[in-house]
């Protein structure tokens, strides 16, 4: 059965209750070792159980990175299924970081894996890559609308390699990343009728404020303008904490789009474990700092 309330509305309600923070759940090998754990499925289960117990009832959104589970094979995916279910049962929204992007029936199958309500890995939202063509994502966009789920489409990422494609300009002069954002804005306008906030979001690196080819300014050198970010939906902002971005950077990054921000922190929270109190304290500190900036 479809989810009654669209993701965009559920996201707004969740961040109003719990604060504007998304915590990444990234059980990579170095972090497991830092926690004093091994590198096996038992360690993965212990890690996820600890993070769930510490944060599921206090954070608005969690973002498990699927690759760190998939590397353990089917048993790792089973842990991911349980982790997703446990977080959702506790009231947190789950944004599964899979960055899928394909064409035709394959894209449709990816959509069914994560956005069909009866799927074992059904999540509140997923990340998608548009660089096989934005319209190739249409099966996922349509199923998200039907199921009340959300998507976050890569637009302008902070990794240096991303600029090779994302800063490129089409024959009409429009930048590739700007085109992705414009298409998201049109889809939000078409699907979020009667709602002030759409369910189709964009991924924009939080480290890109004011850097050449980043975000802000007049759009020179392939940079995005603040107007480009007005998509009528959420903006997922990875890069805070360990990658160098701070809450006070966000107003310059987003301008008038600041209320749409969904900042994401991973290592700067997770490295506080396995102590549950320390995990909670780090989450509360980030939530408070972000709320003071975003409102």
Distance (Å, whole) CA 162 – CA 256: 25
91: left (phi over 0), alpha (psi -120 to 50) or beta: left
Distance (Å, whole) CA 147 – CA 191: 12
Largest CA-CA distance found in the chain, in angstroms, rounded: 54
Question: Is 99 annotated in the active site?
Answer: yes
Provide the 8-state DSSP code for 8: H
Asked, as a colleague might, if the bond just before 274 is cis with ω within 30 of 0, I would say: yes
Q: Which residues contact 33 (CB under 8 A, 6 or more apart)?
A: 39
Among the listed residues 46, 75, 99, 271, the single catalytic one is: 99
As annotated, the active-site residues are: 99
């Amino acid at each position: 059965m479809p989810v009654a309330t669209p993701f965009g509305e559920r996201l707004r309600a969740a961040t109003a209750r719990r604060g504007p923070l998304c915590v990444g759940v990234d059980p990579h090998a170095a972090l497991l070792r830092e926690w004093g754990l091994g590198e096996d499925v038992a360690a993965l289960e212990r890690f996820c159980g600890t993070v769930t117990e510490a944060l599921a009832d206090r954070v608005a959104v969690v973002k498990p990175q699927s690759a760190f589970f998939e590397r353990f094979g089917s048993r790792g995916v089973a842990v991911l299924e349980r982790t997703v279910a446990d977080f959702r049962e506790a009231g947190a929204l789950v944004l599964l970081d899979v960055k899928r992007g394909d064409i035709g029936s394959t894209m449709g199958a990816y959509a069914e894996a994560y956005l069909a309500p009866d799927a074992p890995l059904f999540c509140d939202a997923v990340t998608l890559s548009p660089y096989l063509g934005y319209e190739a994502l249409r099966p996922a966009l349509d199923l998200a609308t039907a199921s009340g789920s959300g998507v976050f489409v890569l637009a302008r990422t902070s990794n240096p390699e991303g600029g090779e494609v994302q800063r490129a300009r089409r024959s009409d002069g429009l930048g590739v990343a700007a085109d992705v954002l414009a298409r998201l804005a049109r889809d939000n306008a078409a699907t979020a009728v009667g709602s002030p906030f759409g369910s189709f979001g964009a991924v924009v690196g939080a480290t890109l404020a004011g850097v050449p080819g980043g975000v802000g300014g007049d759009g020179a050198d392939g940079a995005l303008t603040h107007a480009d970010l007005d998509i009528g939906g959420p903006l997922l902002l990875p890069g805070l904490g360990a990658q160098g971005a701070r809450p006070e950077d966000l107003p310059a990054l987003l301008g008038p789009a600041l209320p749409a921000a969904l900042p994401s922190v991973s290592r700067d929270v997770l490295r506080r474990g396995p102590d549950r109190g320390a995990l909670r304290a780090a989450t509360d500190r980030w939530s408070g700092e972000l709320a003071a900036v975003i409102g």
